[in-house]
């Protein structure tokens, strides 16, 4: 959540840079010798790198599965990248600066996508938001690297690629902080599910299996053909009414 400091420092540095444009000029320009606030901006880059890496590691217990493990690796690399951006300004060692910036932008965007899978079991809405931000960051990074700026300009395209990470991390930090009592109780310090979590997962699985079984039985019962009515015996002709007289069996009968 503290990565939001970047926006504050950037605004201060830009205001002290005469004629600076968010769409035309890159973020790195604020850390060059032409910027009167270069020390402040480069210091913000370094602090940002420490915050991203430390936050990714501290969120370990709240991240599940392979997505959680990839998140810690990718965001740590992204943090190291932006830290090196602050140590090596673009007007100094330009090669190291460019490589570090690329690692930061691409690692951060892909890291957000991994983070989306890591938090999705806890919040589907947050997972979807992070996946969208990660995809947007990857696209913007590719466009920025290929010098395809469209209507955003060079600085605007770079900012789309860079801004998604602090925004996504802040959203994840707020959501996981609000759920901390749940996921801390259901995970071990290394991020693996606790016994309570395993029991809850097993109970939920049994309930789902029972519901599926009941639904299958009900569907099978509904498909059974209705029993056919038993055939009725053929109707017998009504016995003829006669006037048989047992005392005179030879008497003629009347019709």
pTM of the model: 0.67
Count the alpha carbons within 13 Å of 116 in the hemisphere toward its beta carbon.
Answer: 19
- Nearest Cα residue to 38 out of 48, 24, 28, 47: 28
Q: Are 157 and 143 in contact (CB under 8 A)?
A: yes
Distances (CA, A) of 236 to 230, 232, 240, 242: 18, 12, 11, 17
Helix-then-strand count for the chain, H and E = 8, 0
pLDDT of the chain, 255 residues: tens digit per residue: 899 999 999 999 999 988 899 999 999 999 998 888 999 999 999 999 999 999 888 877 667 677 888 888 999 999 999 999 999 998 888 889 999 999 999 999 999 999 998 888 778 888 899 999 999 999 999 999 898 888 889 999 999 999 999 999 999 888 888 776 665 555 555 556 666 667 767 777 888 888 888 888 888 877 766 666 666 665 555 555 555 555 655 666 555
């Amino acid at each position: 959540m503290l990565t939001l400091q970047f926006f504050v420092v950037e605004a201060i540095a830009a205001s002290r840079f005469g004629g600076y444009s968010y769409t035309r000029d890159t973020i790195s320009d604020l850390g060059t010798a032409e910027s009167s606030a270069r020390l402040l901006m480069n210091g913000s880059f370094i602090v940002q790198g420490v915050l991203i890496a430390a936050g990714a590691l501290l969120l370990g217990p709240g991240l599940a599965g392979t997505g959680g493990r990839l998140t810690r690796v990718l965001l740590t690399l992204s943090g190291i990248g932006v830290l090196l951006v602050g140590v090596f300004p673009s007007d100094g060692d330009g090669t190291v600066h460019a490589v570090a910036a690329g690692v930061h932008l691409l690692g951060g965007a892909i890291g957000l996508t991994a983070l989306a899978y890591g938090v999705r079991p806890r919040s589907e809405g947050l997972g979807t938001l992070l996946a969208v931000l990660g995809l947007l960051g990857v696209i913007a990074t590719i466009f920025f690297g290929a010098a395809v700026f469209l209507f955003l300009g060079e600085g605007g395209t770079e900012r789309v690629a860079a801004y998604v990470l602090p925004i996504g991390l802040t959203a994840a930090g707020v959501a996981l902080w609000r759920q901390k009592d749940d996921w801390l109780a259901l995970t071990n310090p290394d991020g693996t599910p606790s016994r309570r979590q395993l029991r809850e997962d097993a109970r939920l699985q049994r309930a789902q299996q029972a519901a599926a079984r009941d639904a299958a039985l009900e569907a099978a019962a509904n498909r059974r053909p209705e029993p056919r009515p038993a055939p009725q015996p053929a109707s017998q002709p009504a016995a003829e009414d006669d006037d048989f007289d047992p005392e005179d069996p030879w008497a003629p009968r009347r019709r």
